[in-house]
Amino acid sequence: MSKLIPISLFNELYRKVDFNLLTEVRMRLEKPLYYAEAGKYKRIDGLIVSKDDLLYTLGVATKTSLYAYDDYLAEGFITYDGGIRIGITGEGVIKNGRLSTLKNITSLCIRIPRYVKIHNEKVDCLINKFDNTLIISKPGYGKTTLLRYMIKSLSDREYNTLVLDERGELSGVVDGKLSIDLGSCTDVVVGVPKITAYASQVRSMRPDVIATDEIFGEKEIECILDCIRCGVKVIATLHSDEISKVKKSPIYSRLLSDFRYVVSIIGIGNIDRVVDLRGNYA
């Protein structure tokens, strides 16, 4: 983090933030700097983000070769060392009818991944009686944190656990080495589109469990349901603030026929409830 953010901003963060709890930094052009500790947002008054600040961070993240990252910019994010994901907004550049890159960047959302040991009886029960599990919450409420904890817990119990880490955020991979310990029986696929990885890796790696972050769209749902039909267990996350909305969705409600548990969370390590879709509630 000290290399990624301009020194003037970093020094203010250092004075105010517990870096063991830091989960996010938001830089918006000509706006105050915001950060999140354990998912809770705070503002640093009197500190305004400049265009030079944004360009500095982008330069570090892209190793001063911004144009080499056009494909990533078109996806709206860049992955930096340690699995840090930088969300980006700006002006779109359209070529041949498709978004090719972004220019005139106006906002950066720097998300810091970390492994957090979660002490919670409901989570322990999920691991002890593991079955297909869907984790839901609003963005930034700790879905990925809980997913990492469950991955490592299942892996250390000798479940062959395959992690589909398209953005490198779950594992924090740097130069082929995982910077976040996901367990002794975990295999990680990094940088491969998830739709491709489901088919190829299920056949080649024979996983007991597949773990994936932020399910999106019908194609991915089809892949997940196919994996479950093959006998592979799945643990996944989905953006939603309550299970009733998932049930009402014509696309995502299909997951509920094959998932046993739905976990709703309202903060890092803070479980709202666990729903057993076989009829039990905890």
| pLDDT band at residue 282 under the 50/70/90 scheme | very low
Give the mean pLDDT of the chain.
88
CATH superfamily entry for domain 121-281: P-loop containing nucleotide triphosphate hydrolases (3.40.50.300)
Higher pLDDT, 251 or 119: 251
Q: What DSSP element (H or E) covers 280?
A: strand 280-281
Higher pLDDT, 95 or 150: 150
Residue 157 is given by DSSP the state T
Q: What is the pLDDT of residues 12-48, one digit of tens each?
A: 998 888 888 888 999 999 999 999 886 678 999 888 9
What local confidence, expressed as pLDDT, does residue 237 receive?
Answer: 95
The mean per-residue pLDDT over the stretch 262-273 comes to 84
* CATH 3.40.50.300 in the chain, residue ranges: 121-281
What local confidence, expressed as pLDDT, does residue 174 receive?
Answer: 67
138-142, 194-198, 278-282: least confidently modelled range: 278-282
**7-111 CATH choice from 3.10.20.30, 3.90.1490.10, 3.30.450.90, 3.50.50.60:** 3.30.450.90
27 beta partners:
108
Own/partner pairs, 130-133, CB within 8 angstroms, 24+ separation: 130/154, 130/159, 130/209, 130/233, 131/233, 131/260, 131/261, 132/228, 132/233, 132/234, 132/235, 132/258, 132/259, 132/260, 132/261, 133/234, 133/235, 133/236, 133/259, 133/260, 133/261, 133/262, 133/263
What local confidence, expressed as pLDDT, does residue 231 receive?
Answer: 92
What local confidence, expressed as pLDDT, does residue 280 receive?
Answer: 55
* CATH 3.30.450.90 in the chain, residue ranges: 7-111
What local confidence, expressed as pLDDT, does residue 4 receive?
Answer: 93
Nearest to 160 by CA among 204, 108, 224: 204
Indicate yes or no: pTM above 0.85. Answer: no
Q: Specify whether the CB–CB gap between 49 and 64 falls below 8 A.
A: no
Q: What is the pLDDT of residues 124-142, one digit of tens each?
A: 999 999 999 999 998 878 8
What local confidence, expressed as pLDDT, does residue 19 receive?
Answer: 83
Q: What percent of the chain has pLDDT over 90?
A: 50
Higher pLDDT, 281 or 172: 172
| pLDDT band at residue 98 under the 50/70/90 scheme | confident
